[in-house]
């Protein structure tokens, strides 16, 4: 299957009528075929209109039919074969193992949500029966279920061309909830997006669903995304990207006549707190593990460990020496796009030029299209006095904050913004000190972990990939795991409905039932 440069609207290929662009191979800067044409405002309007028409039908599909649809998408992605892997490699510079692993994760997510749909628990069916004898007022018959919000706009992420893109977690969870999806593909990997988009459209047709259940739009700029979020038929947004991009979409959504939720994953430096006894016992080992995590995938993970907080001492020195040595041997890596690479270099230069920051180590230099890892250190006092040091540098750059004692460490932690993850490295003798921090850390992050690093997000019913602002726009939600389905649902209560008028799932619910 060869990728094409057309939009997918109403189950059909349609050439965009806006400006054209091409994918760029980040390893060498070369342009790739075919060219892609952006959607016009009228084409966005058409996709939104078809999604709105599809919504009342799709949201009431049986749970079995919806689950089979998700499984059909998974099978369609696998059927593309090696062509999908090779195209994704060329468009992102990511290695084969990473792309194959991400494909497996994408397929696994779809199948996991199919299971979630079949279970039906997400509907939260409830029945509180009437009681005509209750005094002084008779008790009504009340039944409740969760219903789909409506069409959802999903923005493909730059750093995950499959798992957070066209058929990634946002799309899978929205479709599982009963919401049609309109995807705005990321311009960095349009060919990969086109291949996956075709698999979704084929699944829509094979399952006999309305053609507006899914659409794929392209755009090299911001106009399509802005138009989607502003369209009155779109009822929620899923976004993974920069804080600037996420807050811009939030502003558009909040200024609509009917504001809608934007579930945006945006910015996180994922602090790692190293406790003294853990450092004394295995500081060098932790340092090597940190370096491996920092450089994994050129540091282009939302959960990359960008900040180390620790108390000064021999253990911290051992950690730094070990991490510095490992990073000095780390080869430069190709980043996802030239723009991301340039932004990373500017972030490293900003840290290098700060008078309160010292560079500890740097990785090996590579080609003009690659970036080297970098590690810096500063004092707690300097960190507390300079908010800019909290800004994310997207890539393999880390900052160590040296603290004098536990009190200073706690003040540094208290100054942090919301995070996706916070990791603790502890030994048995550190447990008491660490336990005092847990209530504070729960306020700061969506996932806390011990003796590890946040890179690698397990797709699980118990996973939270979210956190307080600015990690995400809504810290009550997650974009990974089955809990993600609840972002695209809302509860509706039905009072004193005759059985014939009740939605099918509520007709046979037993009194007192809570599914």
Which residue is associated with the tokens 């030029």?
A: 353
Mean pLDDT of the chain: 96
Which residue is associated with the tokens 């980043």?
A: 335
For residues 112 and 172, give the distance between their C-alpha atoms in angstroms, rounded to a whole number: 9
Query: Are the C-beta atoms of 364 and 370 separated by less than 8 Å?
Result: no
Query: Are the C-beta atoms of 307 and 272 separated by less than 8 Å?
Result: yes
Query: Are the C-beta atoms of 308 and 401 separated by less than 8 Å?
Result: yes
> CB neighbours of 232 closer than 8 A, spacing ≥ 6?
256, 257, 258
pLDDT band at residue 368 using 50, 70 and 90 as cut-offs: confident
> CB neighbours of 45 closer than 8 A, spacing ≥ 6?
227, 231
For residues 24 and 29, give the distance between their C-alpha atoms in angstroms, rounded to a whole number: 6
H or E element that contains 206: helix 190-206
Q: Does the pLDDT at position 369 exceed 90?
A: no
Angle at 241 between CA 413 and CA 469, to 5 degrees: 35
The number of residues in the chain equals 515
pLDDT tens digits, 126-152: 999 999 999 999 999 999 999 999 999
Q: What is the pLDDT of residue 200?
A: 98
Q: What is the pLDDT of residue 513?
A: 58
pLDDT tens digits, 376-424: 999 999 999 999 999 999 999 999 999 999 999 999 999 999 999 999 9
H or E element that contains 172: helix 169-177
515, with CB counted inside 10 A (0-12, 13-18, 19+), is middle
Between the two ends of the chain, the Cα-to-Cα distance in Å is: 43
CATH class for the region spanning 7-22+36-266+474-507: alpha beta
What proportion of the chain, given as a percentage, has pLDDT over 70?
Answer: 99
Residues annotated as catalytic are 265, 302
pLDDT tens digits, 161-200: 999 999 999 999 999 999 999 999 999 999 999 999 999 9
Which part of the chain has CATH 3.40.309.10?
Answer: 271-450
Q: What is the pLDDT of residue 515?
A: 47
What is the average per-residue pLDDT within 479-503? 97
Q: What is the pLDDT of residue 512?
A: 62
Supply the pTM of this predicted model: 0.96
pLDDT band at residue 99 using 50, 70 and 90 as cut-offs: very high
Four-residue CA torsion sign, 183, 184, 187, 190: positive
Which residue is associated with the tokens 């603290």?
A: 403
For residues 374 and 393, give the distance between their C-alpha atoms in angstroms, rounded to a whole number: 10
Which part of the chain has CATH 3.40.605.10?
Answer: 7-22+36-266+474-507
For residues 200 and 202, give the distance between their C-alpha atoms in angstroms, rounded to a whole number: 5
What is the average per-residue pLDDT within 494-505? 96
Q: What is the pLDDT of residue 510?
A: 81
Question: Residue ranges of the alpha helices (H) in 235-275?
Answer: 243-254
In angstroms and rounded to an integer, the radius of gyration of the C-alpha atoms of the chain is: 25
Superfamily name and number for 271-450 = Aldehyde Dehydrogenase; Chain A, domain 2 (3.40.309.10)
What the block records as the tokens of 199 is 């698999």
pLDDT tens digits, 422-441: 999 999 999 999 999 999 99
Query: Are the C-beta atoms of 32 and 23 separated by less than 8 Å?
Result: yes
What is the average per-residue pLDDT within 91-95? 96
For residues 275 and 437, give the distance between their C-alpha atoms in angstroms, rounded to a whole number: 11
């Amino acid at each position: 299957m060869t990728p094409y440069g057309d939009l997918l609207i109403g189950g059909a290929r349609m050439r965009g009528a806006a400006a054209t662009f091409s994918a760029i191979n980040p390893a060498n800067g070369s342009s790739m075929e075919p060219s892609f044409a952006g959607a016009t405002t009228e084409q966005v309007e058409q996709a939104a209109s078809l999604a709105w028409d599809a919504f009342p039908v799709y949201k009431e599909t049986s749970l079995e039919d919806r689950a089979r649809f998700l499984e059909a998408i998974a099978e369609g992605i696998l059927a593309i074969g090696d062509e999908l892997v090779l195209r994704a490699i060329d468009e992102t510079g990511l290695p084969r193992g990473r792309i194959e692993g991400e494909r497996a994760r994408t397929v696994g997510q779809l199948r996991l949500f199919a299971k979630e749909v079949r279970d039906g628990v997400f509907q939260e069916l409830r029945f509180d029966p009437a009681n005509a004898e209750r005094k002084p007022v008779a008790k009504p018959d009340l039944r409740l279920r969760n219903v789909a919000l409506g069409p959802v706009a999903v923005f493909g992420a730059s750093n995950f061309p499959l798992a957070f893109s066209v058929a990634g977690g946002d799309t899978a969870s929205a479709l599982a909830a009963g919401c049609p999806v309109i995807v705005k593909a990321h311009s960095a990997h349009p060919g990969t997006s086109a291949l996956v988009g075709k698999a979704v459209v084929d699944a829509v047709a094979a399952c006999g669903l309305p053609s507006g259940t899914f659409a794929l739009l392209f755009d090299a700029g911001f106009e399509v995304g802005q138009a989607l979020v502003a369209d009155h038929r779109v009822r929620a947004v899923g976004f993974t990207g920069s804080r600037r991009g996420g807050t811009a979409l939030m502003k558009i959504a909040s200024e609509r006549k009917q504001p809608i939720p934007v579930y945006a994953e945006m910015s996180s430096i994922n602090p790692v707190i190293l406790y003294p006894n853990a450092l004394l016992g295995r500081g060098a080992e932790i340092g090597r593990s940190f370096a491996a995590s920092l450089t994994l995938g050129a540091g282009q993970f939302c959960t990359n460990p960008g900040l180390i907080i620790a108390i000064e001492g021999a253990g911290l020195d051992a950690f730094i020496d070990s991490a510095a040595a490992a990073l000095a041997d780390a080869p430069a890596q190709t980043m996802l796009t030239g723009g991301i690479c340039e932004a990373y270099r500017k972030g490293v230069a900003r840290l290098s030029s700060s008078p309160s920051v010292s560079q500890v180590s740097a990785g090996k230099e590579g080609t003009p299209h690659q970036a080297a890892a970098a590690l810096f250190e500063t004092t707690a006092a300097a960190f507390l006095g300079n908010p800019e040091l909290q800004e994310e540098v997207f890539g393999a750059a880390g900052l160590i904050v040296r603290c004098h004692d536990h009190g200073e460490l706690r003040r540094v932690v208290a100054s942090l913004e919301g995070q996706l993850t916070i990791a603790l490295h502890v030994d048995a003798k550190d447990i008491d000190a660490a336990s005092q921090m847990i209530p504070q850390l729960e306020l700061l992050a969506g996932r806390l972990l011990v003796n590890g690093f946040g890179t690698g997000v397990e797709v699980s019913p118990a996973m939270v990939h979210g956190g307080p602002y600015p990690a995400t726009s809504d810290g009550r939600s997650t974009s990974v795991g089955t809990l993600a389905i609840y972002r695209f649902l809302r509860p509706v209560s039905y009072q004193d409905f005759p059985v014939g008028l009740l939605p099918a799932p509520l007709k046979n619910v037993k009194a007192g039932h809570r599914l």
